[in-house]
Amino acid sequence: MRRKLAAGNWKMNGTSADLAQIEALATAHTGALSEILIAPPTTLLHRAADIAKNGPITFGAQDCHKRESGAHTGDVSAAMLLDAGATYVILGHSERRADHDEHDEDVRAKARAALAAGLRVIICMGEELEEREADNTLDIIGGQLAGSIPDDVSGENLVVAYEPIWAIGTGKVPSVAQISEVHNFIRARLEQRFGPKIARAIRLLYGGSVKPTNAAEIFAIANVDGALVGGASLKADDFSPIINALDAS
């Protein structure tokens, strides 16, 4: 059985005052059935992990460098993130791909570095609205799966997140049929590449305007093992109902 995962990506949000949201979330979900992950900004990672140690929340980073160390001003290595308390790192998010011109080969190199350091990776993929409207979604996702995921992964260290770019922060959500089609496609491609045992252990997350009002419907879809949540993860009162819906699914 794959344990469900509720992952919150805080993006470039949060200061010391917002650590209280993590404390509130940890208190509210001491008996959670699902795994809860928060990826705060790097400036808060160490303090967040320290505050919530031995609690129900795990922590991740939002990116890492592909090198172990060196002259890379402003960058953070996977080993540094591990040392700061991270157990996961999010890679290939559409905002990184767009804002920093990251390509599949860049995501793959970062994933290799993260895995070598002992981090689990959440590799993101998704299509633009124009690609969806041109019926190219599965071609795009297939290419990102092949190009972004390294060969040396397992069901324990890889999570795949499908985030249609046109749904991120827009309030637009794909239909149940659209989400189902993509998640089933991803599972089938993973089985072809890694074999059934590994592929069936890899968790598949949906991301893109997940809210308390639509979470239960999304989590009822086969091969949806949780969510990668943006804005709704910033406040415990907003994220808690999503976690509860996942626990109930």
Residue of 29, 93, 102, 131 marked catalytic: 93
d(CA 28, CA 6): 14
SS (H, E, C) 14-69: CCHHHHHHHHHHHHHCCCCCCEEEEECCHHHHHHHHHHCCCCCEEEEECCCCCCCC
93 is catalytic: yes
Are 204 and 223 contacting, i.e. CB atoms less than 8 angstroms apart?
yes
Q: How far apart are the first and last CA of the chain?
A: 13
Count how many Cα atoms sit within 13 Å of the Cα of residue 206 in the half-sphere of its side chain: 30
CB atoms within 10 A of CB 25: 25
d(CA 162, CA 84): 27
Count how many Cα atoms sit within 13 Å of the Cα of residue 116 in the half-sphere of its side chain: 15
Residue of 35, 131, 163, 183 marked catalytic: 163
Q: Beta partners for 35?
A: 5
d(CA 45, CA 10): 11
Q: Is the dihedral of CA 143, 147, 150, 151 positive or negative?
A: positive
For the annotated catalytic residues, the residue numbers are: 93, 163
